[in-house]
Structures are given as structure tokens and as C-alpha cells.
Amino acid sequence: MAETKTQRVHLRVAASDDELFRSAAAMTQESLSSSWWRAAESGPSASSPTAPDSRCQPAQWRTFTAALDRPAREIPAVVELFRRSRPE
């Protein structure tokens, strides 16, 4: 038997967020509560910025940003590829 729902959650959101939540619920023909419940049950998705696998440790972040800061290097095979004319 399903547990009786006795608790209420109050949440303040921006008007634009409210519109987004309601639109998402309407697309799946669910109530706002059902939509939020389904999202909470599914846990963080890969596309979520808070998903554990989308974060990295500080050392990993430093390595990543250092790679972005390095000057670009020319790769001869890529240069040759771009010099070729497009196949018809």
C-alpha cells in the first residue's frame, strides 16, 4: 500500500523557472509534483551539472586548464587533410 502523503514542500523559484517546470510536466502529461518526483527518483543524469561524473578534482582541473592555456601546435597530418580539395 502506498504511503499517505502528509508532507508539503515549499519552494521559491523565478517566474521563468516556474514556467520551465510546468512546461516540462505538461510535455509528459504529469502534474508538477509527479514530474519532480520522477526526476528525483531517477537521480542525477549525465547531463546534469551536479552529476558526480561531471566534476573533477582540483588537480584534474588544473591539468585541464593548463592544456587549454598551452599554445596550439600544428599537426602535419591535419594540415595536409585541410589542404586537400573536398571529394565530389
- Residue with cell string 516556474: 18
pLDDT along the chain (88 residues), means of 10: 84 88 88 86 60 71 91 93 88
The pLDDT value recorded for residue 37 is 85
Q: What's the N-to-C CA distance of the chain in angstroms?
A: 66
Burial of 85 (0-12, 13-18, 19+ CB in 10 A): exposed
Are the beta carbons of 25 and 32 closer than 8 angstroms? yes
Are the beta carbons of 67 and 60 closer than 8 angstroms? no
Left, alpha or beta for 45 (phi > 0: left; psi -120 to 50: alpha)?
beta
One-letter amino acid at 87 equals: P
The pLDDT value recorded for residue 82 is 92
Domain-wise residue ranges, the chain: 15-83
The pLDDT value recorded for residue 36 is 86
Which SS3 state, helix, strand or coil, does residue 48 take? coil
pTM flag (> 0.85): no
